[in-house]
Structure 1
């Protein structure tokens, strides 16, 4: 193995804790933590509104909450893909 492959493998072998994996992934894809934070916020808001939903059926409330959370996560993923495409194709300095 080359030295660069050994250094990459050593970093993956030494970083076994979940927090270090989350930090590494958030550096690679910065919109993943934003998607998780948005998902958590929407679920928390939905649970808060569950108490004051009035005469709305429980299933309708849960469907609305699911659609909102999924929409936020898909939006965050789309922004992440667009960001990576920008970095890959347009953000590179011309040689």
Structure 2
């Protein structure tokens, strides 16, 4: 596995995806919790939407919540054979 590949594991209903080591964070998902982001040393972190110029558009729990909802909706479409449908959403709060 190269540095930039994702590493995932599943244990007791918890799916965890560790992002490339250079990024220094861990993103995990549990069906009843949604997405959780932590720094390399285990401190809580937040997801953000950043444009191509590096401007932060939105940040916080609302971003993680909407990302989770979009991922679930897309996966449900896939399971129903409608995986070609695009799912759109927007975080409720922006900075």
If each structure's strand is expressed as a fraction of its own residues, which one has the higher value? 2
What's the TM-score once normalised by structure 2's chain length? Answer: 0.34
Structure number with larger C-alpha Rg = 1
The structure showing larger relative contact order (alpha-carbon pairs under 8 Å, at least 6 residues apart) is: 1
What's the TM-score once normalised by structure 1's chain length? Answer: 0.34
If each structure's helix is expressed as a fraction of its own residues, which one has the higher value? 1
